[in-house]
Structure 1
Amino acid sequence: MSTPTSEKGYQSQQFWGLTDDEETPELQWPRNIDVYDKMRRQDSQVMSVLRAVTLPIRRTEWRIDPNGARPEVVQLVADDLGLPIKGESALATTRTRDRFSWKEHLRLALLMLPFGHSFFEQVYRFDDQGRARLRKLGFRPQRTISQVEVAADGGLKSIRQVGGTPGGDSEMGVERLVAYVLDREGGNWLGQSLLRPAYKFWLLKDRMLRVQLQSVDRNGMGFPVTTAGDLPEGLSTTDYERLMNKQLSEGLNVARGVRSGETAGASLPPGAKLELLGVTGQLPDAEKPIRYYDEQIARAVLAHFLNLGTETGSWALGNTFADFFTLSLQAVAEDIAETATQHIVEDLVDLNWGPSEPAPRIVFDEIGSRHPATAEGIRALIDCGALTADETLETHLRNIHGLPPAEQATARHKTTTEGGQPDAPAKQPQPAQATR
C-alpha cells in the first residue's frame, strides 16, 4: 500500500464563494450581518450576553511565552505586539501613536462572536536594521466582505472587499490575512454566529414587546366608545339613515381622537355619550414570555447566571453556572491565542528569520484566576517566603488601599534579627530610684 501524500476528497464544493446551508432567508450571508448587528445594538439582553463573553477575555493579561525561541526573536515579537514577556516585568510604553495595539485588535477580533468571522490584513514596515516590523493589522469589517475564495481542501485562499479600489474591489490573499472564525466547519470561513441560536427568541421577544406596549397604550386609559343621540321623530327612512350615519361617523372621529392630557376633551350633540370602557376579563401577561425569551438568549452562551433570581429563583447555583461559563470563555480565548500565534507571530518570525526559526507564542492568564489582594493574604505569603516585601510591593499596596506615597525622609526603618523577626524596641533607661 502506497503512502498517501495528497487528498482525493474535499471539504468545499465551491471554489469561489461559499455554500450556505442556512434555511432562514434573513440569516443567509450576507443578509445575516445586518440582522446580527441589529440584535447586538438594540436588545439589552443580547448586549449583556456579548459583554459577559468578551469583557473577561479582554480584561485578562495576555503575554508572550518564549517557548524556546531566542531572546532576540522574543523581544522583537513582544515589542511589535506591545505585550509583556512571560516571567518578566512589563515595560512602560512611552508612546502609543502609530503603534500596534493588542487591546484594540482583541476587541475587533472578538467580533467573530456575533458575526461568526473577523478578518484582518497584515501591514508591515522596515526598521533601520532591515527587519520587517508589524505596523498594523487592518480590520476588514464584515459588511464590506463580498466574496471568500476557498480551496477544495477547505483552506482559505482569499477574500474580496467591496469598493476597496477606485472602480473595483480589493482582493487579499491568505498570505496577508489573519482570520478569526467561530466554529468553522469544512470550507465555511464565515463561521457561525454566537447569536444564531438566540435569533428565534430575540425575534419573538421583539414582537412581544410591541404587543405589550400596544396593550398598555390601548387599555391603560380605557377604550373610547361613543353612543349616538336620539333622532327627531317623523323622519323618512332615507333621512333617518342619513342622519344616523352622520352621527356614527362624527362619533367615530371623536373616539379616535381621544387622548389623555391637560387640554383633552370632547364636544357631543345632545343625547350622545362618550365612555371610556375598561377591559373585561384578564389581559394577556406579556412579562412572563419576555422573561422566558431573555433566559433562552442567555442559555445560548451558557450565561445562566444572568438569569439568577428569575429562572432559578435562587443564587445557590451561581458558582456552578459561573464555572461552566468560565470554561467556555477559556476555550474562546485559546482559539484566539492559537490563531494569533500561527498567523501573526509565526508570520513575523518567518519574514525575518525564516520558517525554521523557533517562534514564541501568545498566552494569557487563566480567566477568573485573580484573587483579591487582602492584607491577611499578603502577610501569609510574606511569612511563608512566597513574596518579598520590596519597594514595588509596597507601592502597589499603597495604591490599592488608597494610602499616601512613602516619604523616605520620615520613614521609620526596622532592623531584623538573624531569624528575620523585627528586633524588640530598645528599652528606655529608667530613672535611678533613691535608696534609703
Structure 2
Amino acid sequence: MPELGYQTASLPGWAGMAAESNETNPDLVWPKSNDTYERMCREDPQVMSVMRAVTLPVQETEWRLDATGVRDEVAQQIATDLGLAIVGKEPTAPLRTKGRFSFEEFLRLALLELRYGHSIFEQVYSIDAFGRTHLDKLAWRPPRTISEFEVARDGGLVAVKQFGAGLAAPVSGRSNFVRVPTADVRIPVDRLVVFVNEREGGNWVGTSMLRPAYKMWLLKDRTLRVQALAAERNGLGLPVYTSAAPPDNASYEDKLAWLDAEIERGLGIAKGARAGDAAGASLPNGAGLALVGVKGNLPDLDKQIRYYDEQIARIALANFLNLGGDNSTGSYALGDTFESFFTKSLNALARHIATTVNQHVIEDLVDKNWGTQEPAPRIVPPKIGAEHPATAEAIRALLESGAIRWNPALEAHLRALYGLPVMDATATAPRQPEEAA
C-alpha cells in the first residue's frame, strides 16, 4: 500500500527548513539560530548550568552493550569498535586509545542536539586485512557548516550538504593567499548519523531545548544591563555643585557673566570629583559640593532576575537548581520531587540517544559485515537515579530466597557496580553460595 499523504511539501534550502520549523522569531530561524543558542550558553551561567545538569549525568553513566542472542564474534567486534563493555562479561581494556573511536567524546557531541536542535555525524569506516569493516570514527559536522537538508516527501532525510571548505590559492605577485570557494559537499543519508531533538515531520533542524528559554534569557539580559547601569549611576551618588551668590554691586550683565563662569568652573569640579589620598576641592565662600543619592526606592531587580532564572531552569525540569542560597525560593522538601521528574527526563534522553545509535551505527556496522539478517547487539544506558539500588543485603536476600542464582555474569556485574577489580581467570574459583552453606 503506497503512501498517499506527505509530511513536507516545502522547497529545498533555508526557506524550506524555516517553513518546516514554523519559527516566527527572526533571531531563531535556522541557520541564525545556531549563533543565538551558542551565545545563550556562553554568556549566561544559568543557561549553561541547566545544559550541564542535563548532559553531564548522561555522560557520566557507563554505557554497555547487551549481546543477548548475538554471536560472540559479532558482539566482540562491535564492543571493540565502540570501546564499550558487554553486559555480563568482564571488560577488557584496549591496548591503545590514541587514534581510536572515543564513545565519550562522541556522546558529548551527540548531546549538542539539545543546544542546536540537531547534531550530525558522518560514518567513517576502514577495511582490515581480513576484509572486515571497522568503525574508524563518527566525524562530527558542526551545525554552522550545514548549508541544506534534503528531505523527501514523506519527511525522511535524503542527504545533508555542507558549505564548500574552499581552497587556498596564491595571489599573483603577492606572498599571501586567498580562499577560493568550492562546491557544497553532499553527504547521503546512508553515511549519516543524525540526532534531532523533538523532530516533527520534515523538520530535521529540530527544536533546541533552549527555545522556550529565549524570552526569559533576553529579558534577563536587559534587566542585568539596567541593574549594572543603576549601580554605576547611583552607587556612589551624583556630585552636585552649588554656586555662590554673585556680587551685589555688579551690573546685570556682569552678574550673568559671573554666574556662567561659576557654573562652568563648578561643572569641572563636579566631573573631576574622585576619592583618594590627594583628593579635594577648593570652593569660594557660599558655594557647596555634595554627593546626592537617589530619593525614593529603586525597583527590586533581583526579584525579576530570580524569576527569569527559575523559568530558564524549568525548561529542563531542573527546578532544584533554584533551591539553596540567600535568594532561593521554594521548600527544600520539594527537592526529591523535582529530582524524580528530572531523572526520568534524563532516562528518556538516554534512551533516545541509544535508539539512534542502535539503528544507525551498530546495525549499519553489522549489516556491512554479516548482512541484514544477522542479530545485532544493542547499546543499553544504565538507569539514572535507580530507585532500587543493588545493595549487598538485597543481593544476599535474593540469593538465599532462590529468586536469583549465582553465575559469572552476576559476579561481573557486581564487581563493576562496586568498583571491585576484575576477576582473575587464573585464580581458583570461589565456592558457590550453595556449596558454602
Return the TM-score normalized by structure 1. 0.83
Taking every aligned residue pair, what percent have the same amino acid on both sides? 52
For the 8 Å contact 2:124–2:136, the answer to whether it is kept is: yes
| Residue type at the aligned position of 2:322 | N
| Corresponding position of 1:332 | 349
For the 8 Å contact 2:23–2:29, the answer to whether it is kept is: yes
| CA distance 1:80–1:419, change in 2 (3 Å) | closer
Report the RMSD for the aligned CA atoms in angstroms.
3.1
Please, which moves more after superposition, 265-274 or 358-367?
Answer: 265-274
| Corresponding position of 1:272 | 287
| Corresponding position of 2:134 | 133
Separation in structure 1 between the aligned mates of residue 434 and residue 194 of structure 2, nearest angstrom: 59
Where in structure 2 are the equivalents of 1:60-209 lying within 5 Å?
A: 60-166=61-167, 167-168=181-182, 169-209=184-224
Q: CA deviation at 1:278?
A: 2.4
Q: CA deviation at 1:219?
A: 2.1
| Corresponding position of 1:409 | none
| Residue type at the aligned position of 1:9 | Y
Separation in structure 2 between the aligned mates of residue 140 and residue 23 of structure 1, nearest angstrom: 26
| Residue type at the aligned position of 2:300 | D
Separation in structure 2 between the aligned mates of residue 67 and residue 418 of structure 1, nearest angstrom: 27
Unaligned runs of 5+ in 1: 401-414, 422-436
Separation in structure 1 between the aligned mates of residue 154 and residue 418 of structure 2, nearest angstrom: 58
Aligned-partner SS, 2:139: strand
Q: CA deviation at 1:98?
A: 1.0
| CA distance 1:420–1:6, change in 2 (3 Å) | closer
Q: CA deviation at 1:26?
A: 1.3
Unaligned runs of 5+ in 2: 168-180, 421-430
Where in structure 2 are the equivalents of 1:279-298 lying within 5 Å?
A: 279-298=294-313
Matched, 1:362 2:359: no
Aligned-partner SS, 1:164: coil
Structure 2 residue corresponding to 1:323, chosen from 314, 320, 340: 340
| CA distance 1:272–1:360, change in 2 (3 Å) | same
Structure 2 residue corresponding to 1:220, chosen from 222, 226, 235: 235
Q: CA deviation at 1:361?
A: 1.8
Q: CA deviation at 1:123?
A: 0.8
| Residue type at the aligned position of 2:378 | R
Separation in structure 2 between the aligned mates of residue 267 and residue 372 of structure 1, nearest angstrom: 77
| Residue type at the aligned position of 1:332 | L
| Residue type at the aligned position of 2:84 | L
| CA distance 1:236–1:329, change in 2 (3 Å) | same
Q: CA deviation at 1:306?
A: 1.2
| CA distance 1:62–1:279, change in 2 (3 Å) | same
For the 8 Å contact 2:7–2:202, the answer to whether it is kept is: no
| CA distance 1:100–1:398, change in 2 (3 Å) | closer
| CA distance 1:126–1:248, change in 2 (3 Å) | same
Q: CA deviation at 1:262?
A: 4.1
| Residue type at the aligned position of 1:5 | P
Please, which moves more after superposition, 19-28 or 123-132?
Answer: 19-28
| Corresponding position of 2:245 | 230
Matched, 1:16 2:13: yes
For the 8 Å contact 1:7–1:153, the answer to whether it is kept is: no
Matched, 1:253 2:250: no
For the 8 Å contact 2:87–2:413, the answer to whether it is kept is: no
For the 8 Å contact 1:16–1:150, the answer to whether it is kept is: no
Aligned-partner SS, 1:316: helix
Return the TM-score normalized by structure 2. 0.83
Aligned-partner SS, 2:241: strand
Separation in structure 1 between the aligned mates of residue 143 and residue 232 of structure 2, nearest angstrom: 39
Please, which moves more after superposition, 100-109 or 312-321?
Answer: 312-321
Aligned-partner SS, 1:139: strand
For the 8 Å contact 1:12–1:186, the answer to whether it is kept is: no
| CA distance 1:79–1:259, change in 2 (3 Å) | same
After the TM superposition, which parts of structure 1 deviate over 4 Å for at least 4 consecutive aligned residues? 309-312, 370-400, 415-419
Residue deviations 1:361-415, cap 9 Å, x none?
Answer: 2111111128778776677678768797999899989978xxxxxxxxxxxxxx9
| Residue type at the aligned position of 1:75 | Q
Q: Which has the larger radius of gyration?
A: 1
The count of aligned residue pairs is 405
For the 8 Å contact 2:6–2:155, the answer to whether it is kept is: no
Separation in structure 2 between the aligned mates of residue 417 and residue 351 of structure 1, nearest angstrom: 44
| CA distance 1:194–1:281, change in 2 (3 Å) | same
| CA distance 1:9–1:388, change in 2 (3 Å) | closer
| CA distance 1:100–1:246, change in 2 (3 Å) | same
| Residue type at the aligned position of 2:345 | S
Residue deviations 1:42-88, cap 9 Å, x none?
Answer: 21111111111011111112111225332222211111111111221
Aligned-partner SS, 1:334: helix
Structure 2 residue corresponding to 1:348, chosen from 336, 340, 365: 365
